[in-house]
Amino acid sequence: MSLRDLERRLLELSRGEALSVRASLTTIAIAGGLDGVAIGSFACDSLERAKLMLFAGIKLPFLLLASATLCLPGFFVINAVAGLSHVFTRTLRAIVAGQAALAVALVSLSPLLLFAYLSGVAHAPALLLNALAFACASACGQAVMHRYYRVLILEDPRHRSMLAVWVLLYALVGIQMGWLLRPFVGDPHAPVTLFRPEPVSNAYLVLVQLVLEVTR
């Protein structure tokens, strides 16, 4: 293969990666929006309550993208300290692909969620069902991300540690971000709002209290 052929091949690959990233972002916006609409349909018995579907449909893709965006600067610095910044473009592609897989997994679970809603599930169990759906979808997203990371890990085993760092960072930020952007599953006894008019609180403490309430 000549040098010119090699340059042409590298250009084709770079364009393919760019298209893949754009496709992944589009998938996040569409699949995330559809799942948000499904999540917001809990106890939707009036036009006023239907606004939650619109709100959640907008906020869910934002939740996924904002959580990843907040994690990226710190993750880049960690990669740079580890001497892996020269392949961060490929790392970013893996992250975006994982986010897209997470969004697709979420929307694929939405029929089960809607079935639970129609079965008359109460508000607290509905919150836990959504948390479980997010946990399952996150596992799917991480599996896809690991598939993209496989080549990086073969090239440099340090990427395995970086992947674990990303999972931890994203989980910590994503859970708290989701709590700050609530409501997604609106409380039938609370007024319909875009955001909860409450002081900032810790999502992890609230989650423990919710589990205790359901299992009591």
Domain range list for the chain: 3-215
- For residue 94, which amino acid is it? A
Whole-number Å distance between alpha carbons of 81 and 84: 8
Instruction: Give pLDDT tens digits for 122-148.
Output: 998 998 899 899 999 999 999 999 988
- Helix locations, the chain, DSSP H: 3-39, 47-81, 88-118, 123-155, 158-180, 203-215
Over the chain, what is the mean pLDDT?
87
**pTM summary value:** 0.84
Mean pLDDT of 16-23: 67
Helix/strand/coil for 194: coil
pLDDT the model gives residue 83: 95
Mean pLDDT of 74-99: 94
Whether residue 13 is predicted with pLDDT greater than 50 in this model: the reply is no
pLDDT the model gives residue 9: 53
Mean pLDDT of 45-55: 91
Instruction: Give pLDDT tens digits for 146-166.
Output: 988 988 999 899 999 999 999
pLDDT the model gives residue 5: 61
